[in-house]
Amino acid sequence: MKTIDLAKQTVRDLNQALHDQAAACTETEWEVLNPKGQHNLAVGLDQKLRVDIKGHAGYYCGGMNKEADIVVHGSAGQGVAENMMSGSVRVKGNASSSAGATSIGGLLVIEGDAGSRCGISMKGSDIVVTGNVGHMSCFMGQAGTLVVCGDAGDALGDSLYEVHIYVKGEVKSLGADCIAKEMRDEHIQELSHLLKRAGVDEDPHAFKRYGSARQLYNFKVDNASAY
């Protein structure tokens, strides 16, 4: 295992060392010490690496990740795993706002709570939050799956496209064009599989499903009050 101590080296050193693995992969196991909430840790990785960040991370940790498996042994700041392509990011603590924003693939697991706009504009990733999510989560979500094992704040799924949302707890309010939907067998299977991938022990039958009513997909005069 290779160790990068951010008390002695810079974020630039860390990212360059990880990016260099694309040219010649010499080490797959990485440990980052003393992150102390610094921003942009382990961004733009594109190799099958395992990166353990031993502490809190700042903004955009794991941003645009491809293939790597990143674990934050603490909490993460804004935009964790933003635009992730594949691989996984696991946050052992809480995540700030815009977790998994625009993420295209891969798995984001937040073992604590997530702030507002969790999964905003997500485009195909899977996001599992063990705790609660804040307001406007999954705003303009396009594709993928958001699972919330706790409660969801105001305006869940506002202006939603095709994301599947599963919430176990209370939803304070639904956003424009987001509705509760029937939980069919294929959804139980999808959720069950995702919970298993995330390593979360929950009964899929305890969840409710939400999705787009698809009423705002095209401009209609009758919907003017919804815009």
Partner 1 sequence: MSEKKKYITELRESATFDRSTMSEIRRAAETGIYDIRGWGAKRKLPHFDDLLFLGASMSRYPLEGYREKCNTQVTLGTRFAKKPIVIETPVTIAGMSFGALSANAKEALGRGASAVGTSTTTGDGGMTPEERGQSTKLVYQYLPSRYGMNPDDLRKADAIEVVLGQGAKPGGGGMLLGQKITERVAKMRTLPMGVDQRSACRHPDWTGPDDLAIKILELREITDWQVPIYIKVGATRTYYDVKLAVKAGADVIVVDGMQGGTAATQEVFIEHVGIPTMAAIPQAVQALQEMGMHRKVQLIVSGGIRNGADVAKCMALGADAVAIGTAALIALGCNDPKYDEEFKAIGSAAGFYDDYHEGRDPAGISTQDPELSKRLDPVEGGRRLANYLRVLTLEAQTLARACGKNDMRNLEPEDLVALTVESAAMARVPLAGTNWIPGQQQF
Q: Contact positions toward partner 1, by CB under 8 A?
A: 11-12, 15-16, 19, 39-40, 43-44, 46, 58-60, 63-64, 66, 78-79, 82-83, 85, 97-98, 101-102, 104, 117, 120-121, 123-124, 139-140, 142-143, 159, 161-162, 217-219, 221, 224
Distance in Å, CB of 170 to partner 1, minimum: 25
Distance in Å, CB of 158 to partner 1, minimum: 11
- C-alpha span between 69 and 89 (Å, rounded): 6
Distance in Å, CB of 79 to partner 1, minimum: 4
Judging by beta carbons within 10 Å of its beta carbon (0-12, 13-18, 19+), is residue 216 exposed, middle or buried? Answer: middle
Distance in Å, CB of 204 to partner 1, minimum: 25
The first and second tokens of residue 119, run together, are 């999964």
Long-range contacts for 39-46 (Cβ within 8 Å, ≥24 apart)?
39/11, 39/77, 40/11, 40/15, 41/11, 41/14, 41/15, 42/14, 42/15, 42/18, 42/68, 42/70, 43/15, 44/15, 44/19, 45/18, 45/19, 45/70, 45/87, 46/19, 46/22
Is 101 or 194 the residue whose CB approaches partner 1 more closely? 101
Distance in Å, CB of 196 to partner 1, minimum: 25
Is 185 or 219 the residue whose CB approaches partner 1 more closely? 219
Q: Enter the DSSP assignment of 57.
A: B
Is 74 or 77 the residue whose CB approaches partner 1 more closely? 77
Is 115 or 204 the residue whose CB approaches partner 1 more closely? 115
